[in-house]
Amino acid sequence: MPRTQPTTDALRAMHEQGYVLLREMLQPRQIDEVRAAIDRLEPIHWDYQGLVDDHYKCVFNRDPLWLPYLDLPGVIELVEACLGADCHVIGQTAWRSHPGFVGGELHADYLAMELPEALLADPTFRLPMQVCTAHIYLDRIDADLCPTRVIPGSHRAGRKPRMGETDWKGREPEPVLCDAGDVLLFRSDLWHAGSRNRTADRSRYLLQVHYGRRMVAQKFSPYLQWHFNPDVLGAATPRQRRLLGEHEASEYD
């Protein structure tokens, strides 16, 4: 793909391929900032620091520093085109994947409903997206540094992979190789997988942002004990506040 891409082309790729790689969405200063911020994180609630990976949930609520990564220019416009101008964030997770890390098997994150594959094969039918995830890469991702693997077009399967499936229509997952600052946006019904960190001394730093349509619930752990950080709300722009859940009234409010 070209290094810059109009939203219209990227939106077409989301419908046809199920994902798009957006190049150079972060500046070197931002890459360094986020990596350093991840190194400062301490686990709370369901977070963990393990032998081969570290995982921190809802990092947007810890410090205003994380807010600009909810609505990165060039990314948020595509997200809103995919999910609607009233979409919101349903999660922001920071990861460090160390040597020896083993990524997840082939899966789809979320499927609103199963549909006949014959229906989805019709090129005139476009299945609306409900949830999308942005992988914000903070390292150059080569074949050894646990690249995300995707099966282009597999969102048209109309179902999640079955136990033991490793391909869709004979097409196996392909690694997404990219540079630090690139962003992979993919729809939640796309079949994708993780992979191993085969390096001897490099950890993959990754910031994930999950977006959902207005009617997809925001499930921020620890749920009933959840409270927004007032410093974060005070620093948020109107768009960021909407992404955090400050919506206009609607039928179910």
Rounded to whole angstroms, how far apart are CA atoms 81 and 187?
Answer: 12
Within-domain flag for 144 = yes
Rounded to whole angstroms, how far apart are CA atoms 26 and 151?
Answer: 26
Within-domain flag for 140 = yes
Per residue in 47-98, pLDDT tens? 999 999 999 999 999 999 999 999 999 999 999 999 999 999 999 999 999 9
Q: Please give the residue that has the higher pLDDT: either 253 or 111.
A: 111
Q: What is the CATH number of the domain that holds 214?
A: 2.60.120.620
Per residue in 176-205, pLDDT tens? 999 999 999 999 999 999 999 999 999 999
Nearest C-alpha neighbor of 25 from the set 4, 1, 2: 4
Asked whether 248 and 130 are in contact (CB, 8 A), the reply is: no
Per residue in 19-57, pLDDT tens? 999 999 999 999 999 999 999 999 999 999 999 999 999
Rounded to the nearest integer, the mean pLDDT of the chain is 95
Instruction: Grade residue 1 by pLDDT with cuts at 50, 70 and 90.
Output: very low
H or E stretch at 131: strand 131-137
How much is the average pLDDT of 99-125?
94
Within-domain flag for 23 = yes
58 contacts: CB under 8 Å, gap ≥ 6: 91, 92, 93, 220, 221
Per residue in 196-237, pLDDT tens? 999 999 999 999 999 999 999 998 999 999 999 999 999 999
Rounded to whole angstroms, how far apart are CA atoms 187 and 231?
Answer: 31
What pLDDT does 251 receive? 86
In the chain, the number of structural domains is: 1
- What is the sign, positive or negative, of the torsion defined by CA atoms of 102, 33, 89, 156? negative
pLDDT value at 2 more than 80: no
Instruction: Classify residue 96 as exposed, middle or buried by CB count within 10 Å of its CB (0-12, 13-18, 19+).
Output: buried
Instruction: Grade residue 3 by pLDDT with cuts at 50, 70 and 90.
Output: very low
Within-domain flag for 249 = no
Within-domain flag for 250 = no
Within-domain flag for 253 = no
Within-domain flag for 252 = no
Domain that holds residue 49: 5-244
Rounded to whole angstroms, how far apart are CA atoms 138 and 148?
Answer: 13
Asked whether 212 and 83 are in contact (CB, 8 A), the reply is: yes
What pLDDT does 93 receive? 98
Q: Is the pTM of this model over 0.85?
A: yes
Rounded to whole angstroms, how far apart are CA atoms 111 and 38?
Answer: 30
Q: 124: which 2 tokens?
A: 């005139």
Nearest C-alpha neighbor of 58 from the set 205, 221, 213: 221
- In one-letter notation, the amino acid at residue 123 is P
